[in-house]
Amino acid sequence: MLKQEIEDGQSSLADPAFRADVLNGLSTRPRAIPARWFYDRRGSELFEAITALPEYYPTRTETALLQGIAPELAEAIGPGRAVVEFGAGSAAKTPILLGAIDPAAYVPIDISADFLRDSSAELARRFPDLPVLPLAGDFLRPLPLPAEVAALPKLGFFPGSTIGNMDPHAGVDLLRAMRASLGEGAQLLIGMDRVKGTEVLIPAYDDAAGVTARFNLNLLERINRELGGTIPVADFRHRAIWNEDASRIEMHLAALRDVEFRVDGRPFSIQQGETIHTENSHKYGPRGGRLLLRAGGWTPIREWTDPQGWFALILAEAQPARSAP
């Protein structure tokens, strides 16, 4: 059953935040715009298309992994928890988890109330006996959960290696905010993409069909559409690089020639070869992933990977703080 009224946990980021991030990001060096602005309607469609590409392994690897470990998840998590998903549910992954563990409620949290409404209605149809309690808000900060789940044990769900979009500093802040939202004794099931060779990583972010390039360039089109921009999109090229020191894939938009344009009436000029940094996708080894969780207040208790070791699902627990003996 779906709770019809979507709770507004926090004011939603609208145009002013996009405008501020873009104007600020184009003015500072290196130029950089936060990756969350990729996901307008067109960007979300393009990301869906990315997940079906032969080169983009994360989504299908994580989905198959979830399916394969369903009985072990049931045993490690148990029934009766309120599942709190950070980000509106993925149509493929969320039902696998909900079907595996027999939860008492499902609380998807997303900044986009529209997206939340659609995905929640779909889930409520598939699980007619499960209370679905969507919460519109920014999960980067601690959020009060719906009163209906206050007394239930919690399981946070954060699939997709979305944590990889954040640098470790911001990732730790997010993990701590999740701990504050879910409370002591909660569990967290988190997906993390693993470090692997660039012969696999680079094509995953620079595919032969050019879908990732269109996804990246759509950010410039969105700026033109929503912020009165005059960016000559054809003069920019998608670039994906592996940053070994930071253990991350970076996506950039590189200017093919000197360009001048306006956004919201403000003039900008970018020289040939200069880039706008649009995304980081951090990859973690087994130790790095566990250390990140511990730094964020979560104790890893179980860990699963696919046979190639390309993607990890880690189950962690918010244990009471203890000092060293």
Binding site for ligand AVJ (CB under 6 A): 50, 58, 160-162, 164-165, 205, 212, 279, 281
**Other beta carbons less than 10 A from residue 266's beta carbon:** 14
CB-nearer residue toward ligand AVJ: 104 or 254: 254
* Upstream peptide bond of 30 is cis (omega within 30 degrees of 0): yes
Reduced to 3 states (helix: H, G, I; strand: E, B; else coil), residue 28 is: coil
User: Could you tell me the smallest distance in angstroms from the CB atom of residue 164 to ligand AVJ?
Assistant: 5
CB-nearer residue toward ligand AVJ: 50 or 149: 50
Reduced to 3 states (helix: H, G, I; strand: E, B; else coil), residue 247 is: coil
CB-nearer residue toward ligand AVJ: 7 or 279: 279
Q: Which residue is nearest to ligand AVJ (CB)?
A: 281
Q: Whole-angstrom Cα distance, residue 248 to residue 39?
A: 20
User: Could you tell me the smallest distance in angstroms from the CB atom of residue 205 to ligand AVJ?
Assistant: 5
Q: Whole-angstrom Cα distance, residue 18 to residue 176?
A: 25
User: Could you tell me the smallest distance in angstroms from the CB atom of residue 58 to ligand AVJ?
Assistant: 5
CB-nearer residue toward ligand AVJ: 101 or 204: 204
User: Could you tell me the smallest distance in angstroms from the CB atom of residue 46 to ligand AVJ?
Assistant: 9
Q: Whole-angstrom Cα distance, residue 24 to residue 84?
A: 33
User: Could you tell me the smallest distance in angstroms from the CB atom of residue 212 to ligand AVJ?
Assistant: 5
CB-nearer residue toward ligand AVJ: 149 or 189: 189
Task: Pull the structure tokens for residue 142.
Answer: 């601690």
Q: Whole-angstrom Cα distance, residue 288 to residue 162?
A: 16
Q: Whole-angstrom Cα distance, residue 313 to residue 300?
A: 10
Q: Whole-angstrom Cα distance, residue 279 to residue 254?
A: 13
Q: Whole-angstrom Cα distance, residue 191 to residue 49?
A: 20
CB-nearer residue toward ligand AVJ: 23 or 202: 202
User: Could you tell me the smallest distance in angstroms from the CB atom of residue 280 to ligand AVJ?
Assistant: 8
b/e burial code for range 104-121 (CB count within 10 A of at least 16 → b): bbbbbbbbbbebbbebbe
